């Protein structure tokens, strides 16, 4: 009898697993919302607003964002953050919304090769700049840092992991021979509620031992 | 966030014109680590945001005839690395304490100096004075002021770099809108001491700094002739980007082993950076050692008036002053 119930539960789980994907669902509803928003008139940003003294907004602006080496035409209000554009328009969901004041490092990206929190940066500030996200470290042959995270089981729930991967990559780029103590202090701008710090530090040390690029 | 207009001017004069708009509530966007969070929480609701990071003249560290000039939009990580600032380790000490490579990369000097208080009543929308100080007096005051807290303002000044700059006699260059037509007249320049940027507000209409709408701090100048031994020491609760419990900076002139001039400034203890004349007077005329530094720390807090929940900060402030003095003199602090 008990075995029957277990089987029933297992098959239900399988069904749910095959027919429904949380991320696809979210993407679908997000697209609908975006379509509604875009039906309003949009301003067009000529060139880079980074060098414009004219006042724009608050209505939707069209702008070109260079993310991971590719230009994307996006439409965003002046109050839209870079993080919102990355996640909800460009489907780059690596950077995460965690703290509103960016004190957790969850949305860490590079803007013109300088670290920044996408969640505390406006999208309009980034037009004309080069944005690089954690996705640039993935792909067919991933960077040594995400590979070391896998090797060292350096994640639990995984929500903070992309932020940690960018932070570790940036810290080791600046300090290729970092000691354990330096790594501990260097990645203090990232918080992990599961407490996976020990494995993150092991992963970083593995990258150091294998050379700065593994 | 509430909707707002946005501009990113290329010159200081343009920025002042945009900020001075009479029919707009304007805010200066520098690194954004403070302002964007406040706007998300709708604690600050500007109708126009002016990004000052695209103004080339406000970037970088340079040597001038008067002293070392730092652009207010210079990133903290660039200040920490600047060789011109090597004689002023108090600045790099304070930046190292911020302990988040993201914040060090994103935050600017001007933004750090003029960040809003971290008071949790202010940050939860109760206003800067939180009902004329009543909320703090009746509520949880563990992170509030231990000096100058008898008025309505009981929050603490959040800046971590001002103590070092004030110790070094640094000045702020402020650009102000022209008198006749604030939006288009040529702006005027004014210089004041960094310590004069701050004030203790008396009512909700005032902020914790003296700048009115349209005024922009463009540069900080560390004048020559202040070759003093200097350091910043912070007492922090653990590591990470969290605000420290006490920041203390000391600048000492030491001749033949005796302190002949001294300045000691604290932050996180009063509604504005706290210049401790008592600590400075205590150490002047004496050599720096464990006994004299400890005595200076004791003198620094002799007039403290802690609130219900922050008596512990009195001891931390005394220790921070002692260790800042020892660190400035190149001696072991006994701490980390």
CATH class as words, domain A138-209: mainly alpha
Chain A closest-CA separation from residue B12 CA (Å) = 11
pLDDT, one tens digit per residue, over B142-188 is: 999 999 999 999 999 999 999 999 999 999 999 999 888 877 778 99
Neighbours of A180 (CB within 10 A): 12
B150 neighbors B319 (Cβ within 8 angstroms): no
Indicate where chain A has its CATH 3.10.20.30 domain(s).
41-132
pLDDT at residue A16 is higher than 50 = no
pLDDT at residue A50 is higher than 90 = no
Check A102 against B41: CB less than 8 A apart.
Answer: no
Q: How many domains does chain B have?
A: 1
A151 touches chain B (CB under 8 A): no
Outline where B3-144 has alpha helix (H). 12-19, 35-40, 76-81, 89-98, 101-106, 109-113, 120-123, 134-138
Give pLDDT, residue B183.
79
A205 touches chain B (CB under 8 A): no
pLDDT, one tens digit per residue, over A126-185 is: 999 999 999 999 999 999 999 999 999 999 999 999 999 999 999 999 999 999 999 999
- Mutating which of B1, B3, B6 best tests the A interface, going by the most A Cβ atoms within 10 A? B6
pLDDT, one tens digit per residue, over A119-128 is: 999 999 999 9
Smallest Cβ–Cβ distance between A79 and the set B1, B32, B37 belongs to: B1
Check B101 against A170: CB less than 8 A apart.
Answer: yes
Q: Positive or negative, the Cα torsion across B297, B96, B140, B203?
A: positive
A97 touches chain B (CB under 8 A): no
The structure's pTM equals 0.90
Neighbours of B135 (CB within 10 A): 20
Check B32 against A171: CB less than 8 A apart.
Answer: no
B171 neighbors B191 (Cβ within 8 angstroms): yes
A79 touches chain B (CB under 8 A): yes
Residues paired with B223 in a beta bridge: B67
What are B's interface residues with A at a Cβ cutoff of 8 A?
1-11, 14, 18, 29, 31-34, 36-37, 39-41, 48-49, 51, 53-54, 75, 99-103, 105-106, 239-242
| Residue of chain A minimizing CA distance to B105 | A115
Indicate whether B335 belongs to any domain: no
pLDDT, one tens digit per residue, over A166-175 is: 999 999 999 9
pLDDT at residue A20 is higher than 50 = no
Q: Which residue has the higher pLDDT, B48 or A9?
A: B48
Residues of A in contact with B8 (CB under 8 A): 49-53, 124-125
Q: B26-29 and B48-51: which strand pairing? A: parallel
Give pLDDT, residue A103.
85
Q: B188-193 and A108-111: which strand pairing? A: unpaired
Residues of B in contact with A45 (CB under 8 A): none
Give pLDDT, residue A122.
98
Residues of B in contact with A50 (CB under 8 A): 8, 54
pLDDT, one tens digit per residue, over A78-115 is: 999 999 999 999 999 999 998 877 789 999 999 999 99
Check B37 against A101: CB less than 8 A apart.
Answer: yes
- Mutating which of A122, A165, A168, A192 best tests the B interface, going by the most B Cβ atoms within 10 A? A122
Smallest Cβ–Cβ distance between B8 and the set A50, A167, A171 belongs to: A50
What are the pLDDT tens digits along chain B (336 aa)? 999 999 999 999 999 999 999 999 999 999 999 999 999 999 999 999 999 999 999 999 999 999 999 999 999 999 999 999 999 999 999 999 999 999 999 999 999 999 999 999 999 999 999 999 999 999 999 999 999 999 999 999 999 999 999 999 999 999 999 888 877 778 999 999 999 999 999 999 999 999 999 999 999 999 997 679 999 999 998 887 789 999 999 999 999 999 999 999 999 999 999 999 999 999 999 999 999 999 999 999 999 999 999 999 999 999 999 999 999 999 999 876
Smallest Cβ–Cβ distance between A78 and the set B6, B54, B103 belongs to: B6
Instruction: Select from 3.50.50.60, 3.10.20.30, 2.40.50.140, 3.40.50.2300 the CATH code of A41-132.
Output: 3.10.20.30
Indicate whether B333 belongs to any domain: no
* Placement of tokens 């003296």 in the chain: B210
Indicate where chain A has its CATH 1.10.150.120 domain(s).
138-209
CATH assignment at residue B122: 3.30.465.10
Give pLDDT, residue A211.
55
Indicate whether B323 belongs to any domain: yes
How many Å from the N-terminal Cα to the C-terminal Cα in chain B?
A: 40
**DSSP-assigned letters across all residues of B232-289:** EEEE-SSSSSSPPSEEEEEEEEEETTEEEEEEEEEESSSSS-EE-HHHHHHHTTS--S
Mean pLDDT of chain A: 83
Print the domain residue range for B282: 5-328
pLDDT at residue A42 is higher than 70 = no
| Residue of chain B minimizing CA distance to A108 | B102
Check B7 against A101: CB less than 8 A apart.
Answer: no
Please state the φ and ψ torsions of residue B272, each to the nearest 5 degrees: -140, 165
Chain A closest-CA separation from residue B6 CA (Å) = 5
């Amino acid at each position: 009898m008990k075995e029957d119930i277990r089987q029933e539960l297992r098959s239900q789980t399988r069904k749910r697993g095959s027919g429904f994907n949380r991320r696809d669902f979210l993407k679908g509803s997000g697209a609908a919302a975006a379509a509604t928003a875009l039906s309003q008139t949009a301003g067009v940003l000529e060139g880079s607003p980074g060098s414009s003294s004219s006042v724009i907004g608050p209505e939707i602006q069209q702008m070109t964002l260079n993310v991971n080496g590719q230009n994307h035409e996006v439409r965003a209000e002046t109050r839209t953050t870079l993080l919102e554009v990355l996640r909800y328009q460009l489907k780059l969901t690596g950077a995460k919304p965690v703290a509103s004041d960016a004190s957790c490092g969850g949305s860490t990206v590079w803007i013109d090769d300088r670290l920044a929190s996408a969640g505390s940066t406006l999208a309009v500030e980034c037009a004309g700049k080069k944005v690089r996200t954690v996705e640039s470290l993935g792909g067919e042959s991933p960077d040594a840092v995400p590979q070391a995270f896998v090797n060292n089981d350096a994640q639990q729930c995984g929500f903070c992991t992309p932020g940690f991967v960018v932070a570790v990559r940036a810290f080791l780029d600046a300090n290729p021979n970092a000691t354990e103590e330096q790594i501990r202090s260097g990645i203090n701008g990232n918080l992990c509620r599961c407490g996976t710090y020990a494995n993150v530090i092991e992963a970083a040390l593995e990258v150091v031992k294998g050379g700065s690029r593994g | 966030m509430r909707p707002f207009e946005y501009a990113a001017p290329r010159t200081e004069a343009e920025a002042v014109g945009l900020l001075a708009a009479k029919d707009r509530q304007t805010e200066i966007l520098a690194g954004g680590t403070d302002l964007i969070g406040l706007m998300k929480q709708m604690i600050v609701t500007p109708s126009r945001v002016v990004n000052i990071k695209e103004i080339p003249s406000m970037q970088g560290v340079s040597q001038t005839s008067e002293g070392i000039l730092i652009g207010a939009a210079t990133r903290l990580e660039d200040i920490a690395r600047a060789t011109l600032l090597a004689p002023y380790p108090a600045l790099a000490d304070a930046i190292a304490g911020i302990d988040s490579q993201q914040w060090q990369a994103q935050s600017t000097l001007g933004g750090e100096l003029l960040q809003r208080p971290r008071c949790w009543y202010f940050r939860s929308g109760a206003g800067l004075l939180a009902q004329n100080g009543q909320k703090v007096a009746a509520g949880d005051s563990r992170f509030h002021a231990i000096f100058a807290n008898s008025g309505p303002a009981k929050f603490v000044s959040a800046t971590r770099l001002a103590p070092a700059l004030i110790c070094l006699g640094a000045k702020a260059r402020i650009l102000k809108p022209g008198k006749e037509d604030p939006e288009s007249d040529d702006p005027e320049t004014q210089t004041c001491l960094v310590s004069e940027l701050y004030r203790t507000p008396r009512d909700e209409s005032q902020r914790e700094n003296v700048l009115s709408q349209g005024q922009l701090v463009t540069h900080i100048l560390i004048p020559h002739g202040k070759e003093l031994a200097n350091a910043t020491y912070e007492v922090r609760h653990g590591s990470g980007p969290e605000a420290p419990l006490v920041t203390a900076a000391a600048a000492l002139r030491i001749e033949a082993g005796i302190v002949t001039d001294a300045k000691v400034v604290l932050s996180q203890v009063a509604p504005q950076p706290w210049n401790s004349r008592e600590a400075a007077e205590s150490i002047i005329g004496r050599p720096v050692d464990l006994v004299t530094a400890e005595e200076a720390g004791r003198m620094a807090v002799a007039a403290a008036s802690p609130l219900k929940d922050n008596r512990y900060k009195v001891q931390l402030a005394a220790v921070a002053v002692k260790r800042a003095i020892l660190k400035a003199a190149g001696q072991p602090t006994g701490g980390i």
